[in-house]
Structure 1
Amino acid sequence: MPNLQDVFDCDSPVALVTGSGAPRVGRGIATHLASLGCRIALHANTSVDQAHQAAEQMRSEHGADVIVTEGALDDERVPDRLVAQTHDHFKRIDILVNSAAIWRPTPLAQVTADEMRRYFEINTIASFLCARAAAMLMAPQTRGGSIINIGDWATGRPYLDHAAYFPSKGGVEVMTRSLAVEFAELNRRIRVNCIQPGPVLLDESVTKAQQDRLAACSLVGRIGTPEHVAHAVQFLCENDFVTGVCLPVDGGRSIFASDGVQVGMNTG
């Protein structure tokens, strides 16, 4: 199987990872890609200082060329700007990972129309706009590019108090298949895939007992890590015969008929 350098015919492929400022899944993905020799565009909105600290760490540990992009993704002008800034600096873009997302429990009776709109604006529409902007710049590239969206394993088995969140993530999965078809018309080497993480990053408020219950809800009997998602990103970038798929990275949680409940999960 070819490595990233072979796939993109570039010694240092360029990757933009949204939502990679704070130490969450997006940061883990960006750090892993940097370790594989990629040039990195981090993105942050409220975690800009943390993004700059992460950039320094990637430069120090991996010798990576890293920039920090900024902006609130509920502003429809920001996705185009982030992608353009990345391309202007590095003169190409090979990988886009749409990792930025919002996620918090809200009882059904308290969900407002504005909250629904905000979930779709950030989790769905911004991913669409970033993907489209990247695809337009990938199209002239001989080797195209790889676009990876981050969904959620539980869109098929949603749990309580996330009636605004799950529709926005379900839209990401349908969008992945649609854009795989659309972008292939621009360049057959542009591929679009989706990763559906399970419990890979828990809120600090989750107790040991709750962690044990969550672990018992997976077939592998443990909680995952951001590195598990990052490795899946690597696979989807390197395997140039995979496109339009939604890949669960959930320890078998989506197929395991346990009676556990979901608490404190944060896959973004």
Structure 2
Amino acid sequence: MTLPRTPSFRLDGRRALVAGASSGIGAGAAVALAEQGAEVTLCARRRDDLQVLADEMNAAGMRAQILPLDITDLPAMEQALANRPAFDILVNSAGLARHSPATQTTPQDFDLAADLNFRAAYFLTRTIAARLISEGRPGSLINITSQMAHVGGIDRAVYAATKHAVEGMTKSMAIEWGPHGIRVNTIAPTFIRTALTADTFANPERAAWIASKIKLGRVGEVSDIMGPVAFLASDAAALITGTSLIVDGGWTAD
């Protein structure tokens, strides 16, 4: 018999855009893609942080360049992408949290979270896809959501709402763009040790709640997300679209 062959995880010859790449999960995603041979454009507002990461990646033999940009500025985002070749891969890790009891949510906090986590994610994904469709190219578009895109959480009504919204848009976009060979998925992490979660882990009550929910008995590290990013971007995930890869240590299993 002829043995089946595992599709390649390599990304040689592909161009990737990683939004929110200046730290945390975004930085890890950028490295993961570059390790597999992709040419990676690092996008975020903080130019200096992007340059430090790009310099380290290039020194390690990877290929990285920077694109300082606030993706909530839709005209600036669309213009910046129009001036560059199409991206085969998108990882959108840009996001923020404004946690509070739902009765204390302010319109300002709601708008800040919704503007970046959902509105910017929607139009960034749409912009990348529209370019691919116009050029007849396939692609893999990945939005980083959260386990809170599948459950609820204390003081997280606004954050969970924005992440649920991204899961919904992902399914619809996957249906629309599937005939063009464009896959759209999400990765939904549990609590990952980053600057964004430092305050949460510093709260003993919250830390105990997290520990009680993660069945594998530990919180996530950035490295736990890197493999899933490389997988979904690659041909090894060629038949996966419109779904969420939940990386939560079993949080949502019950």
Normalising by structure 1, what TM-score?
Answer: 0.83
| 1:204 aligned counterpart, secondary structure | helix
Distance in 2 separating the partners of 1:212 and 1:117? 30
Asked whether 1:201 is paired with 2:193, we answer yes
Deviations 1:113-160 (Å, cap 9, x if unpaired)?
233222221111111111111112222556510000111112332122
Quote the Cα distance in structure 2 between the aligned partners of 1:65 and 1:39.
5
Q: AA paired with 2:161?
A: P
- CA shift, 1:71, in A, is 2.1
The share of aligned pairs that are identical, in percent, is: 30
1:227 pairs with 214, 223, 233, which one?
Answer: 223
Work out which of the residue numbers 88, 94, 99 in structure 2 matches 1:100: 94
Pair 1:162 & 2:185 matched: no
Paired residues of 2:98 and 2:158 also in contact (CA < 8 A):
no
> What is aligned with 2:21?
20
Contact 1:18–1:98 under 8 Å retained in 2? yes
- Give the Å deviation of 1:98: 1.2
User: Is 1:32–1:230's contact at 8 Å kept on the other side of the alignment?
Assistant: yes
Task: Letter of the 1:3 partner, please give it.
Answer: S
Equivalent residue number for residue 66 of structure 1: 64
Residues in 2 aligned to 1:31 and 1:81: alpha-carbon distance in whole angstroms: 26
Residue aligning to 2:48? 49
SS of residue matched to 1:77 = helix
Q: What CA distance in whole angstroms lies between the structure 2 residues aligned with 1:143 and 1:227?
A: 30
CA distance in 1 between partners of 2:174 and 2:76 (Å) = 23
Q: Structure 1 residues 212, 164: CA separation in 2 closer, same or farther (over 3 Å shift)?
A: closer
Q: Judge which range, 127-136 or 159-168, deviates more.
A: 159-168
Aligned residue in 2 for 1:3: 8
Shift of 1:99: 0.8
Is the alpha carbon distance of 1:168 and 1:207 closer, same or farther for their aligned partners in structure 2, counting shifts above 3 Å? closer
The verdict on how the C-alpha distance between 1:38 and 1:248 changes in structure 2, with shifts beyond 3 A counting, is: same
Q: Which amino acid aligns with 2:184?
A: V
- Summarize deviations over 1:55-107 as a string: whole Å, max 9, x none: 0000011x22222112223222233234334xx2xx33110011100113223
Contact 1:107/1:162 (8 A) holds in 2? yes
What is aligned with 2:3?
Answer: none
CA distance in 2, matches of 1:179, 1:172: 10
Q: Partner residue of 1:246?
A: 244
Q: What is the 5 A alignment of 1:24-39? A: 24-39=24-39
Contact 1:73 1:121 in 2 (8 A): no
Distance 1:158 1:212, change over 3 A: closer
Partner SS for 1:220:
coil
Secondary structure (helix, strand or coil) at the match of 1:52 reads helix
The range that moved more, 193-202 or 241-250, is: 193-202
Unaligned runs of 5+ in 1: 257-268
- In structure 2, the CA distance between the partners of 1:116 and 1:208, relative to structure 1 (3 Å rule), is closer
- Output the amino acid matched with 2:248: D
Return 5+ residue gaps in structure 2 as ranges: 1-5
Asked whether the 8 Å contact 2:146–2:189 carries over to 1, the reply is: yes
Once residues 228 and 59 of structure 1 are traced to their aligned partners in structure 2, the CA distance between those partners, rounded to angstroms, is 23
Q: Secondary structure at the match of 1:161?
A: coil
What's the secondary structure of 1:139's corresponding residue?
Answer: helix
Structure having the higher helix fraction is 2
Answer yes or no: is the 8 Å Cα contact 1:70–1:82 preserved in 2: no
Q: Tell me what 2:130 maps to.
A: 136
**Equivalent of residue 183 in structure 2, options 176, 191, 200:** 191
Q: Who is 2:107 aligned against? A: 113
Aligned residues: 243
Take 1:251 and 1:147, find their aligned partners in 2: how far apart are those partners?
Answer: 24
Give the superposition deviation at 1:207: 4.2
> C-alpha root-mean-square deviation of aligned residues, in Å?
2.1
Distance in 2, matches of 1:242 and 1:156, equals 19
Contact 1:151–1:173 (CA under 8 A) maintained in structure 2: yes
